[in-house]
Chain A
Amino acid sequence: NAGVMQNPRHLVRRRGQEARLRCSPMKGHSHVYWYRQLPEEGLKFMVYLQKENIIDESGMPKERFSAEFPKEGPSILRIQQVVRGDSAAYFCASSPRGGGQPQHFGDGTRLSIL
């Protein structure tokens, strides 16, 4: 009974490179959320997706960041031309549907920018 799967667990990139973070939701879950946790700060919402649809991207920077959740395969959070300030833990969470159902988190991807 696999939980939310994220990979990679750790990702190191140099400034200007691209980072791709993957998330497979729990079985039966169709709602995916991405959150970012900067060092010594709280969790902040980035984007909410359902299959093939972005529902809310109000927390995601307008430039360099994009997210998708295709019909087949995992959700992808992409960060282009990374900068030092992108260094953070990125967590994916999933829920079976809306209506106030709790979200379950993956182990996260720790992104470090050199």
Chain B
Amino acid sequence: QQQVKQSPQSLIVQKGGISIINCAYENTAFDYFPWYQQFPGKGPALLIAIRPDVSEKKEGRFTISFNKSAKQFSLHIMDSQPGDSATYFCAASISGNQFYFGTGTSLTVIP
């Protein structure tokens, strides 16, 4: 059973546009929600993370929106750039003991 559901599977955005990736979870015990960026042939790198006591976190062009009641969280990439083209994974964890990953979203930003 997929603990974290991620959509869309792939996304194409024009340069300068907003990329939005969504994730949903069921286990209310999750208390940490990170997003990772992965380039081909490389390991995932932490992009931004949020805890359920806040509804939004922004770091530069990247924003996480968190809806605790709906058990959903999303990643927004503002002013998307070709260099943002990568695969993005959401994840959920209980105090960092085990991380459950979404299925990934392949983002392509076209110039």
User: Is chain B a partner of chain A in the same complex?
Assistant: no
